[in-house]
Structure formats: structure tokens, C-alpha cells
């Protein structure tokens, strides 16, 4: 019996408006909700029971599992949903979810952030934790700009020296090693997290353990790693999964694009660079869709160029549009001839009128 907790209760603020209707871990990535990639990777690493620590839009997870083979008794992994009444933060969520575990105090419990795409050898992390008799073992990676993450300097033996969540000043940037969002806890350490109130493992639990000189270890793994928390990273993660650059048991046949059931592509259109076209999506004459994610039922008109963008569920893009590095919310309508570039976000259910051809040719 190997147990894990998957933290999936965040609001996904940086991915709005995509997360208005769907919690971040349930957004489709390479054809299935991101959570499915993570659950299958955990199962393949020998996890037999996983608690989904939910809060924001918890019902979406429950609905999905009740209709999915993953939720069936013979799926090879027992999935339990724990729902906080109020968001309890990462530490509070781990503490609450632990009441659904059966592990003994000395057992190892794996904890995953719900938005991290990685090829980490999960068993090697558990092995390191148990060999070193650590209280907590953190998976670390190195990035060129660590400011958006938890900074984790270690000594030459791998002992964690400090945990600095999202440093605010240049002096705090003491390392390029970051918390990569997967931990092994000895169960008794989770039991000491205060129950019933918000706790951040990053800002409270880890610094406290270090102040008490408890053994917190770090394992640096330089394999594939991506936090899918922003639109650009979300598109990148999806593209990398479709092309087989990022590993997932849920991607059976990597390729240049993934076109799901019922999607209709005009023979003159080009779908490339790791694009996913969702169920029943449509792409019109001479359009190019490259390095993008098009959700179910979205319609892209004729002569469009869509690059590095996310087109929400049921959104309609008129003819001759250029959409580059942008996010279009679910069920929005973008009229013909619009050009949306570099970070534009269109809210859900919006209507952007057609840009008159006469106006654009006058420019």
C-alpha cells in the first residue's frame, strides 16, 4: 500500500478566465484533464491510493470520476476526494486530506502539487527519503529565473538549509534551486500540522521544521519540469505532451497534433506544432493552428492564424482572425478580421465585434 495526496484546490487565478468554469487541474491537456496525467503517473509508480485535496469547484472532480474509468473499482488506483469547507492552503489541505489516509505514523506519504508536469522518478524520491530517514524530502529543480517559486538552498549532502517562498528582494535570491512541487512526508510530520485552519507548507511548515533542526532533504532532478500555472506554460505543457517531449502514460501516440473525436478540419487547414483540437472543434478553410490548445466545441473560421493560444470551450473565432499568444474565454465570440496578440485575454461569454474590412485596409 502506497498512499499519496494530490493538491488540486487552488483557484488557478493566473489562468483566468479558463479557470472560471473549470478548476486548473481539470483543464484538458493533450486530450484529458491534467489531473489524469498525474494520477496515471502516480499509479505507474506504485501508488495504490490517492486523496484529491479539493476546495475550489470540488464537484467538477467528483463528476469527472463518476463518469471515468479511473473512478472504477478495477482502475488500479483507489481515488478518494477530500473537500475542504474553506480553502486551507497547501499545509491545511495536506493535514485535512491525511484524515483519509490509512498509513501508519512511520510510513512515507507522497504529496504532489496539482499543476506540475514532470518526468520525476517518484520511487527514487521515496527511496532517498527512507534511506536518509528524513522528516520531509523535497523534489527540487533548477531554473534560470527562480523568483516565482520556492527557493531551496541545500548543503553538499542535500540537507535543506532554507525555504524562501517567492523572494521579494534580490538579496533573497540565494540559489537557482527551486521547490518543484512534489514531497515525501513521514506521516507523523503531517499529523503535527495544526488542523482546522489555513496553513502554507511553503511559508509555515517547512520554515518551522528547519528552525527545529529537523531533517528536510532535497533531491535535485534536472529532467522535464513545468508548472502549468500561467497561460504560456499551460500551452507549452500541452504541446510538449502531444509531441512526446513531456512524459505521460495518458499520451499513447505522440505526434505533431492531437485531433479528438468529432473534430472537423477543412482539408486546406494546417494543424501543427503540438496543437490539440478538442472534441467536436472545427477549423475552416486555409486556417493555420500552431502550438495551441483548442477546447471542445470551439469553432475557428476560414483564413485564420492561431498560434501559441488557448481557445476556450465553444468559443467562435470569425474568418481572417490572427490570434497569437492569447487566451479566449469559453463561449466567447471574436468577430472576423480581429488581431489579438501577446497576452490578450478575452473573458468568458464576451463578444468582440467584427473589425470592418474597410477600417483595417485604411491602416
Active-site annotation, residues: 166
| Position 139 contacts ligand GDD (CB under 6 A) | no
Residue 149 found at the interface with ligand GDD (CB under 6 A): yes
Task: Verify binding: residue 227, Mg ion, rule CB under 5 A.
Answer: yes
For residue 178, the partner it binds in ligand GDD, Mg ion, none, with Cβ less than 5 to 8 A by kind, is: ligand GDD
Q: What residues contact 131, with CB distance under 8 A and at least 6 apart? A: none
229 touches Mg ion (CB under 5 A): yes
Nearer to ligand GDD, 225 or 334 (CB): 225
DSSP class of residue 100 equals G
Give the whole-angstrom CA distance, residue 45 versus residue 323.
39
> Which region among 7-15, 32-40, 126-134, 309-317 touches ligand GDD (by CB under 6 A)?
7-15
Q: Is 93 an interacting residue with respect to ligand GDD (CB under 6 A)?
A: yes
Q: What is the dihedral angle through the alpha carbons of 174, 180, 186, 187, rounded to the nearest 10 degrees?
A: 120
Check residue 137 for interaction with ligand GDD (CB under 6 A).
Answer: no
CB 286, CB 270: distance < 8 Å:
no
Q: List the one residue from 4, 8, 30, 40 that touches ligand GDD (CB under 6 A).
A: 8
Q: Which is nearer to ligand GDD, 87 or 153 (CB)?
A: 87
Can you tell me which of 3, 84, 115, 240 binds Mg ion, judged by CB under 5 A? 115
- 30 binds, options ligand GDD, Mg ion, none, Cβ within 5 to 8 A by partner type: none
- The residue with cell 479539493 is 54
Residues 306 and 287 sit within 8 Å (Cβ to Cβ): yes
Cell 501508519, residue located: 104
Cβ proximity to ligand GDD: between 176 and 273 the closer is: 176
Task: Give the separation between CA 38 and CA 118, rounded to whole angstroms.
Answer: 9
CA-CA distances (angstroms) from residue 77 to 28, 36, 48, 134, 184?
Answer: 21, 12, 5, 26, 19
**Does residue 33 bind ligand GDD (CB under 6 A)?**
no
DSSP string, 16-36: TTTTTTS-GGGSEETTEEHHH
- Contact residues toward Mg ion (CB under 5 A) are 115, 227, 229
- Contact residues toward ligand GDD (CB under 6 A) are 7-10, 53-55, 84, 87-90, 93, 113-116, 149-150, 165, 178-181, 202, 227, 229
Amino acid at each position: 500500500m502506497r498512499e499519496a495526496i494530490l493538491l488540486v484546490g487552488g483557484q488557478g487565478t493566473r489562468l483566468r478566465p479558463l479557470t472560471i468554469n473549470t478548476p486548473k487541474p481539470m483543464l484538458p491537456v493533450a486530450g484529458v484533464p491534467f489531473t489524469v496525467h498525474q494520477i496515471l503517473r502516480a499509479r505507474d509508480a506504485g501508488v495504490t491510493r490517492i486523496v484529491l485535496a479539493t476546495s475550489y469547484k470540488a464537484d467538477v472532480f467528483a463528476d469527472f470520476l463518476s463518469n471515468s474509468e479511473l473512478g472504477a473499482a478495477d482502475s488500479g488506483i483507489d481515488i478518494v476526494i477530500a473537500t475542504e469547507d474553506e480553502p486551507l492552503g497547501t499545509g491545511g489541505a495536506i493535514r485535512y486530506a491525511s484524515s483519509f489516509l490509512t498509513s501508519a505514523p512511520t510510513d512515507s506519504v507522497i504529496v504532489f502539487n496539482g499543476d506540475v508536469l514532470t518526468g520525476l522518478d517518484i520511487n527514487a524520491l521515496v527511496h532517498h527519503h527512507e534511506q536518509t530517514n528524513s522528516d520531509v524530502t523535497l523534489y527540487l529543480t533548477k531554473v534560470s529565473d527562480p523568483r516565482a517559486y520556492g527557493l531551496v538552498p541545500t548543503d553538499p549532502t542535500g540537507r535543506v538549509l532554507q525555504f524562501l517562498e517567492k523572494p521579494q528582494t534580490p538579496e533573497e535570491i540565494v540559489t537557482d534551486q527551486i521547490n518543484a512541487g512534489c514531497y515525501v512526508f513521514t506521516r507523523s510530520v503531517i499529523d503535527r500540522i495544526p488542523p482546522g485552519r489555513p496553513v502554507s507548507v511553503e511559508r509555515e511548515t517547512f520554515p518551522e521544521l528547519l528552525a527545529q533542526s529537523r531533517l528536510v532533504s532535497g533531491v535535485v532532478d534536472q529532467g522535464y519540469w513545468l508548472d502549468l500555472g500561467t497561460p504560456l506554460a499551460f500551452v507549452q505543457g500541452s504541446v510538449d505532451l502531444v509531441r512526446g517531449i513531456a512524459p505521460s502514460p495518458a499520451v499513447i501516440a505522440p505526434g505533431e497534433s492531437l485531433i479528438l473525436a468529432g473534430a472537423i478540419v477543412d482539408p486546406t487547414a494546417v494543424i501543427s506544432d503540438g496543437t490539440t483540437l478538442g472534441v467536436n472543434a472545427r477549423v475552416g478553410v486555409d486556417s493555420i493552428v500552431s502550438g495551441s490548445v483548442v477546447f471542445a466545441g470551439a469553432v475557428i473560421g476560414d483564413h485564420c492564424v492561431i498560434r501559441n493560444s488557448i481557445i476556450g470551450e465553444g468559443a467562435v473565432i470569425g474568418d481572417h482572425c490572427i490570434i497569437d499568444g492569447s487566451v479566449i474565454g469559453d463561449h466567447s465570440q471574436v468577430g472576423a478580421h480581429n488581431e489579438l496578440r501577446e497576452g490578450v485575454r478575452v473573458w468568458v461569454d464576451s463578444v468582440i465585434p467584427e473589425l470592418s474590412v474597410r477600417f483595417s485596409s485604411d491602416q
